[in-house]
C-alpha cells in the first residue's frame, strides 16, 4: 500500500485493493459507461463502500480504489450533518430524511411561524467547516416546507469542530424553531365620522376579514364608531365580552385633533402601549396588551380553576394605509401576535431594516425584501 493523494489534494487518501474496501470512504467519483445508453456517475466521492458494491465496481473494471482514512478524531460528512441538524432543531422542526452528499434539510414539522436565533446562527457559521442556511426569521411556513439546510463542508471534518458547533447551537434559545400560531378570534372597530355617518363607504372591513381568515381565524364582530373616545371604548369592551382575543381598530392613529382612537385604547387599562414603527406603509401603528378580564371574572366566580396566569388580549391599531396598500405593517405583526409574541418597542425598532415597501406593480409578498431585515 502506498500513501497517496487524490486528485484534489486530500492528504489522507490511499490506494487499496477493491476487496479490502468495504467500510471505507471513496475519495473520488467512479464513472460508469454503458455504450449507447448511459454515461455518468455510479459512485460519488464520499460514498461508504458496502459489500454489495464490490461486484458492481468489479464490473466497472475497478481493481483498486482511492479511499479515505477517517481517524478517531474525525467524522464523515454524512454523520456530521446528522449531528449538526439535531443540534440546530427546536420545537416544530423535523429532518427531511437521511443526509445526501453531506447535506441534510430541516423541514417545518407543522404550519406556523419560523423563528431563527440569528445571533446563534451567525456564531455557528463563524466556526468554519460547518454551515447552516435558513429562510428569514418570522416567515410563515407550511408543514413539510424546507426551512433550513446544514452540512459539514469538508468530506471529513474534525470532531472538535462538530462538538463546538453543537455547543454553540445549544447555548441558548433553539437556533431554528417553528412556533404554532393560534386561530384568532378577532373583533374590529372601524373609526371615523365619515364612515359612521355614511359619507364614505368603508373599505377596511373586507381587507381585515380576508387577512384574518387567511390565518384560519374568525371575525366575531365589526363595529363602526364616530370620533368619540367613550363610544370607541364601549365597542371595544363589548368585543372583549364576546370572547375576542385580538382587537383591531382602524383609523384615528395620526396626530389630527379628531384622531383619538389610541386614547380609547389606553382607557381599557392596557398593560403597555407601543405607538409608531419604522415601517412604510404603517408607521403610525399601535400595539397594546391587556389582561383577559373574562378569564379573571371566571376565576373570581370559581367556575375556572386558577392554574396559570390569565391570557393577554392584543390590541392592534391600524392606520389608514391598511385600507389602500395590499401589504403593510399589519402583515408583519399579525403572524407574530398569533404565535404568542408580545410586541414591544425593541421589536418595533428592529422592523426598520427591511421595513420599506417598494410598492411593486405586482406584489409578491412575502417573497420580497419587505419585512425581511
Give which of 329, 322, 367, 324 is closest to 350, Cα–Cα.
329
> How much of the chain exceeds pLDDT 70, in percent?
91
- The length of the chain in residues reads 373
Yes or no: say if 232 and 248 are a contact pair by the CB < 8 Å rule: no
Domain, as residue range, for 139 = 74-179
For position 168, which CATH number holds? Answer: 3.90.1170.30
**Whether 120 and 36 share a structural domain:** no
Higher confidence at residue 50 or residue 4?
A: 50
Specify whether 58 is located in the same domain as 79.
Answer: no
pLDDT digits (tens, 9 = 90+) for 189-218: 999 999 999 999 999 999 999 999 999 999
* Selection from 76, 74, 83, 78 nearest residue 169 by Cα: 83
Q: Is the dihedral of CA 348, 353, 358, 362 positive or negative?
A: negative
CATH of residue 13's domain is 3.90.105.10
Q: Is 120 helix (H, G, I), strand (E, B) or coil?
A: helix
- Looking at the structure, tell me whether residues 202 and 338 fall in a common domain: yes
Asked whether residue 155 carries a pLDDT value surpassing 90, the answer given is no
Alpha-carbon span 194 to 204, nearest angstrom: 13
d(CA 6, CA 15): 9
Q: Is residue 370 part of a domain?
A: no
CATH number at residue 243: 3.40.980.10
Q: Is the peptide bond before 148 cis (omega within 30 degrees of 0)?
A: no
This prediction has a pTM of: 0.83
CA distances from 135 to 114, 147, 367 (A): 8, 6, 11
| Same domain (yes/no): 165, 244 | no
Q: Is residue 286 situated within a structural domain?
A: yes
Does 213 share its domain with 332? yes
How confident is the model over 100-146, as pLDDT tens digits? Answer: 878 999 999 999 999 999 999 999 999 999 999 999 999 999 999 99
* Same domain as 235, residue 297: yes
Selected residue with higher pLDDT from 240 and 42: 240
CA distance 157 to 130: 9
Residue 297 has pLDDT above 80, yes or no: no
C-beta of residue 24 within 8 angstroms of C-beta of residue 7: no
What is the greatest pairwise CA distance in the chain? 94
Work out how many domains the chain is built from and give that number.
3
Domain boundary among 68, 93, 113: 68
pLDDT of residue 154: 87
Q: Are 371 and 332 in contact (CB under 8 A)?
A: yes
Gap between the Cα atoms of 197 and 82, Å rounded: 64
Q: Tell me the C-alpha distance between 63 and 48, whole Å.
A: 17
Average pLDDT rounded to a whole number, residues 58-73: 83
Cell of 309: 396566569
Dihedral pair phi/psi, residue 314, rounded to 5° = -100, 135
243 and 136 in a common domain: no
Amino acid at each position: 500500500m502506498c500513501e497517496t493523494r487524490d486528485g484534489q489534494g486530500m492528504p489522507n487518501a490511499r490506494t487499496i485493493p477493491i476487496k479490502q474496501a468495504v467500510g471505507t470512504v471513496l475519495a473520488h467519483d467512479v464513472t460508469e459507461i454503458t455504450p449507447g445508453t448511459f454515461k455518468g456517475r455510479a459512485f460519488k466521492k464520499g460514498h461508504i463502500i458496502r459489500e454489495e458494491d464490490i461486484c458492481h465496481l468489479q464490473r466497472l473494471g475497478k481493481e483498486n480504489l482511492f479511499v479515505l482514512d477517517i481517524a478517531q478524531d474525525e467524522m464523515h460528512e454524512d454523520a456530521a450533518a446528522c449531528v449538526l441538524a439535531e443540534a440546530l432543531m427546536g420545537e416544530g422542526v423535523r429532518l427531511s430524511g437521511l443526509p445526501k452528499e453531506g447535506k441534510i434539510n430541516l423541514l417545518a414539522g407543522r404550519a406556523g411561524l419560523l423563528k431563527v436565533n440569528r445571533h446563534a446562527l451567525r456564531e455557528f457559521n463563524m466556526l468554519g467547516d460547518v454551515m447552516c442556511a435558513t429562510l428569514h426569521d418570522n416567515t410563515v411556513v407550511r408543514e413539510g416546507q424546507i426551512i433550513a439546510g446544514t452540512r459539514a463542508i469538508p468530506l471529513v471534518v474534525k470532531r472538535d469542530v462538530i462538538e463546538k458547533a453543537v455547543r454553540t447551537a445549544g447555548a441558548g434559545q433553539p437556533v431554528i424553531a417553528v412556533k404554532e400560531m393560534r386561530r384568532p378570534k378577532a373583533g374590529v372597530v372601524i373609526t371615523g365620522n365619515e364612515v359612521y355617518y355614511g359619507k364614505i363607504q368603508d373599505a377596511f372591513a373586507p381587507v381585515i376579514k380576508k387577512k384574518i381568515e387567511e390565518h384560519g381565524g374568525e371575525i366575531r364582530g365589526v363595529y363602526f364608531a364616530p370620533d368619540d373616545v367613550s363610544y370607541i371604548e364601549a365597542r371595544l369592551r363589548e368585543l372583549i365580552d364576546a370572547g375576542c382575543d385580538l382587537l383591531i381598530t382602524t383609523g384615528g392613529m395620526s396626530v389630527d385633533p379628531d384622531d383619538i382612537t389610541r386614547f380609547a385604547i389606553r382607557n381599557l387599562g392596557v398593560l403597555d402601549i407601543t405607538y409608531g414603527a419604522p415601517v412604510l406603509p404603517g408607521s403610525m401603528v399601535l400595539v397594546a396588551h391587556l389582561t383577559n378580564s373574562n378569564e379573571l371574572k371566571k376565576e373570581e366566580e370559581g367556575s375556572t380553576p386558577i392554574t396559570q396566569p390569565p391570557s393577554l388580549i392584543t390590541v392592534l391599531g391600524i392606520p389608514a394605509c391598511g385600507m389602500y396598500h395590499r401589504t403593510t405593517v399589519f402583515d408583519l405583526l399579525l403572524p407574530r401576535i398569533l404565535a404568542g409574541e408580545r410586541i414591544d418597542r425593541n421589536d418595533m425598532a428592529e422592523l426598520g431594516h427591511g421595513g420599506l415597501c417598494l410598492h411593486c406593480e405586482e406584489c409578491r409578498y412575502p417573497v420580497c425584501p419587505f419585512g425581511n431585515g
